Amino acid sequence: MVSSKVALITGITGQDAAYLAQFLLKKKYRVYGTFRRTSTPNFWRLSHLGIEDKVDFIPADLIDNPSLVDALKTSQADEVYHLAAQSYVGSSFDQPISSGEFTGLGVTRILESIRLINPKIKFYQASSSEIYGMTNGQQNEETAFRPRSPYAAAKLYGYWMTKMYREAYGMFATNGILFNHESPLRGLEFVTRKITNAVARIKLGLQPELKLGNLHAKRDWGFAEEYVEGMWRILQLKKPDDFVLSTDESHSVQEFVEEAFGCVNLKWKKFVKSEKKFYRMLEVDELMGDSSKARKQIKWKPKVKFKELVQIMVDADLDRWSRWQKGEKFPWDAPNYPNEEKTLFRIPK
C-alpha cells in the first residue's frame, strides 16, 4: 500500500513510539518524532529496530508551547500520535507536580497547538488503563474512572481534555485506553521487564535473586507491537471515538514470575522475594479490559497470548546477556544510550 501521509509521534524514544514508527514506515508514511533534547540522545529502541535513519527527529518539550508549534509546522502532519509522557506510576508519587505538567497539561498544550495550526489534523491520545483504578469486573469505555496515582490522575485529565476538544471544536481527537502492553523494548523500571531481565541474569549466574513488590496484583498484559496497529486503526475511522485495547484476560505478577522462570527451567520460589518497600503507595488490585468495541468497530484483536509474551521477553533478555558474556556489545554500550539505563544494566565487578 502506498501512502503520502505524514505522521508526527511525540515521545519517539519510547517503546510504543518505536513500534509505531516501524509500523507506519511499512505503511509508507513519512514519520517525524519529537524528543527532549539532552546531552545524550536516547534512540536505542529505534536503532534496535533498524529504523533510526528513517525517522525525522524534531526536538520539542511538552512544557514549551513554541517547540510544539514548531514541530507541527515542520512536519505538516496529517496524524499526530501523542505518546510522550512521564509514564512510570511509581515515579509519579515522587514527582506529582512534574507528572501533572507533562502527562496531563502536555496533552492540552499539543491539542491547543493543533487547534491553532491546523484543526483538521487527526489526533491520538495515549490514555491508560490506570485511569480506572479500583473498579470491579472488566473495564470498558463506559466504566467509571477511579484513578489511584498522580500518573493516573494526569492521564485522566488528558483523556477528558481530548474529549472536550473533540466536542467543542469538532476536532478529530481520540483516546486509546490501552491496558498493559509489554515487549523486549520495555524499560527496566516496569515489573515485566524487571522480571525477564532478572530471570535471564539469574539463569546465567549474573544475579542471585529478584526482589519484587505485590505478587498478587493482576494485570491485562499484551504485546506492544500489536497494540500500535490499534492506534493507527483508531485514526483511520471516519468519525473520532475512544477505544479500549486489551487482551480481555488478567494474570497476577506471580503468574508472570512463574511463567518466566519456567521458561529457563528454574523454580521461582528459590530466587524471588516480595518486599513491602516495592509496593505501590495506593495499590490497584486488578485491571482487565473489555475490548469488544475495538474488535467490532476497528477490527483489532491481539494474537499474542500471555505465555507467548513472557517467552518472547525472556528469550530476548537471555539472548542479550548471553551475547554480553561472549564479549559482544549491546545498544546500551552505544554513545546514544541513556546514562540512567546504563546504570541499571551495569554488573558489579
Close Cβ partners of 291 (under 8 Å, ≥ 6 residues apart)? 140, 243, 244, 245, 246, 247, 248, 300, 301
Question: Does position 121 have pLDDT exceeding 80, yes or no?
Answer: yes
User: pLDDT value at position 3?
Assistant: 61
In the set 130, 225, 259, 286, the catalytic residue is: 130
**Is 130 one of the annotated active-site residues of the chain?**
yes
Distance between CA atoms of 322 and 262, rounded to whole angstroms? 18
**Is 4 one of the annotated active-site residues of the chain?**
no
CATH C-level class of 191-219+249-287+305-345? alpha beta
Q: Which range (209-213, 318-322, 330-334) has the least confidence? A: 330-334
Question: Does position 335 have pLDDT exceeding 80, yes or no?
Answer: no
Give mean pLDDT, residues 82-103. 78
Give mean pLDDT, residues 48-67. 94
3-class secondary structure, 207: coil
In the set 92, 99, 113, 128, the catalytic residue is: 128
Give the model confidence (pLDDT) of 149-169 as tens digits.
999 999 999 999 999 999 999
The more confident residue out of 286 and 329 is 286
How high does pLDDT run on average in the chain? 91
Across-strand partners of 9? 33, 81
Question: Does position 86 have pLDDT exceeding 90, yes or no?
Answer: no
Considering the chain, what percentage of its residues have pLDDT values greater than 90?
78
What are the boundaries of each domain within the chain? 6-182+222-245, 191-219+249-287+305-345
Q: For the domain with range 6-182+222-245, which CATH number is right: 3.60.110.10, 3.40.50.720, 3.60.20.10, 3.40.50.300?
A: 3.40.50.720
Question: Does position 81 have pLDDT exceeding 90, yes or no?
Answer: yes
Question: Which residue from 260, 275, 274 is spatially nearest to 203, judged by alpha carbons?
Answer: 260
Distance between CA atoms of 223 and 227, rounded to whole angstroms? 7
User: pLDDT value at position 346?
Assistant: 46
Largest CA distance in the chain: 59
Question: Does position 343 have pLDDT exceeding 50, yes or no?
Answer: no
Give the model confidence (pLDDT) of 183-225 as tens digits.
999 988 899 999 999 999 999 999 999 999 999 999 999 999 9
b/e 279-301 (16+ beta carbons within 10 angstroms → b): eeeeebebbbbbbebbbeebebe
User: pLDDT value at position 41?
Assistant: 67
Q: For residue 347, what pLDDT band results from cuts at 50, 70 and 90?
A: very low
pTM: 0.93
Across-strand partners of 133? none
The C-alpha torsion from 44 through 50 and 52 to 53, rounded to 10°, is 150
User: pLDDT value at position 340?
Assistant: 44
In the set 32, 151, 159, 165, the catalytic residue is: 151
At which residue does the C-alpha cell 546531552 appear?
39
